[in-house]
Every structure is written in structure tokens, then in C-alpha cells.
Amino acid sequence: MDKKEIIEQLSKRTCCKKEAADAFEEFLLAVKKSLFRGEKVHLKGIGTLYAKMRKERRVRNPKTKEIIKIMPKRVIRFKASEVPLE
């Protein structure tokens, strides 16, 4: 399911696609802002999104055999919630 399909499903529950698209964009913006501040985003029944710092590491370029240093960076992680089997 992609963004267009999600908006299509939301528009069935609201009055129009424009409102559904605006609501979905606002949701994504709120999630991005929370993750940028380092907060966890809990989506009940779905899972948790959180930001984690990846530490500095050294890798080798396979073509030139040169060792390259990759700086630390923030990455987004997702942990799925446990779904009870019915």
C-alpha cells in the first residue's frame, strides 16, 4: 500500500480527497517532528517508530581497497507490536 492508496482509503471515511490528503500530510509532519526531537512514536496495534544514533564506523572500498570513515548519523527504526493471532 502506498501513499496514494492510503489517501484513497481515508477519503472514503471523510468527505473528500483533499481533506484526507491534508490530514495524512499533517500526520506525517507530526511524526517527523517527533522523531527529529528524539521522541518515540507509538502507534497502538501497529508498532513503534524511534530514532537511534548509528555509531561511527570504518569500511573498505572494494574497488580501491581504501578504508573510509563513515560519520555517526541518526537512523529511523521500527519495532512492530505483537499482534494476537485469532
pLDDT of residue 82: 85
* CATH topology for the 40-86 domain: HU Protein; Chain A (4.10.520)
> What are the boundaries of each domain within the chain?
1-37, 40-86
pLDDT of residue 84: 66
pLDDT tens for 43-86 read 988 899 999 999 999 999 999 999 999 999 999 999 998 876 56
- Taking the alpha carbons at both ends of the chain, their separation in whole angstroms is 23
Longest C-alpha distance within the chain, in Å? Answer: 59
Q: Is 21:5 a contact under the CB 8 Å cutoff?
A: no
3-state helix, strand, coil in the chain (%, to 5): 35, 30, 35
Can you tell me the mean pLDDT for 14-28?
A: 89
Contacts of 73 (CB under 8 A, 6+ apart): 53, 54
